[in-house]
Amino acid sequence: MKKILSILMIAFVMISFAACGQKETVKDISIKEMVDKIAELPTAQRLMKTDLSTPSDENQYLIDSMELNTEDLEEGYAIYSMINVKSDMIVVFKAKDESSVENLKKVLDKTAENQEGIWSQYLPDQYEKVQNRIVKEKGKYLIYIVTDEPQEVEKIFDEMLQ
């Protein structure tokens, strides 16, 4: 009986310590700085950058095709190819609040679905890039990456939010 009680006490203490574990904290940053750093990468230098936070003539097509509600954004940027033979696209969002994160995840899912639909029928090498995309979330920050070297972009995202 004492053994069982001892084991239960040890299990209780371990569970208590695990429950008190430190939650990953994410820096609160402006994503403009992150996007500027990403835009300097060789893989992104020929791409166009646009602010998605406020609709304009320049970004309205992209906002509409992504089905993006700008009310969910504190900040949002897209770096993408204007040429119809490249699938390269990097989208970075900072959600207005925690409840907006789910909506923005759906936007990125829709973006992936749209890109797969386009590139699966068009250019096989670009379709492969879309299939190897990276989508990440850290707190209120989300990123969608389709480039030749997505790990380079992911590294900037991770480092700036540590």
CB–CB of 85/96 below 8 Å?
A: no
Query: Domain range holding 95?
Result: 24-160
DSSP lists the bridge partners of residue 92 as 77, 143
CA nearest to 113, candidates 135, 93, 98: 135
CA nearest to 96, candidates 107, 104, 84, 88: 104
Q: Is residue 149 part of a domain?
A: yes
pLDDT, tens digit (0-9, with 9 covering 90-100), for 4-44: 545 545 555 455 555 554 455 778 899 999 999 999 999 89
Q: Is residue 13 part of a domain?
A: no
CB–CB of 50/77 below 8 Å?
A: yes
Q: Is residue 152 part of a domain?
A: yes
CB–CB of 120/87 below 8 Å?
A: no
pLDDT, tens digit (0-9, with 9 covering 90-100), for 84-109: 899 999 999 999 999 999 999 999 99
CB–CB of 58/121 below 8 Å?
A: no
How many folded domains does the chain comprise?
1
Type of residue numbered 94: K
Q: Is residue 2 part of a domain?
A: no
